[in-house]
Amino acid sequence: MALSEKIKTKYAVTSFSEEMAVDFEKDILIALYSVRKLEEAGKLSLNTKGIQIQVKSYKNMKDVTRLNWHRIDELYTLDTPEILPLLKGWAQTNYIIK
């Protein structure tokens, strides 16, 4: 629950520093991994398993390299996100964490 509160409050800003972006990515992946492990252990309620999450995907326009990784607007189609199918509960975490 502490991680959930951190994500809701700390990251509710419009501009991220590089350090904050790294922390955000780490926290999101830890949260998704935790949900997946709880599901695998049979410790999620039916309500939690039934939650549907909508995910947006942004296609690459160019290869990301060590020299251009910071140019997000040039690398991804930020104007036209693809809405991925709604997946339920832990299936969503398996889709994101491979």
**Total domains, the chain:** 1
Looking at the predicted structure, is the pLDDT value of residue 97 above 60? no
In this prediction, residue 63 carries a pLDDT of 92
* pTM across the whole model: 0.57
71-86, pLDDT tens digit by residue?
Answer: 888 888 888 988 877 6
DSSP classification of residue 73: H
20-62, pLDDT tens digit by residue?
Answer: 888 888 988 888 888 888 888 989 888 887 777 777 888 889 9
**Rounded-to-integer distance, Cα 72 and Cα 77, Å:** 9
In this prediction, residue 98 carries a pLDDT of 44
What domain range is 90 assigned to?
2-96
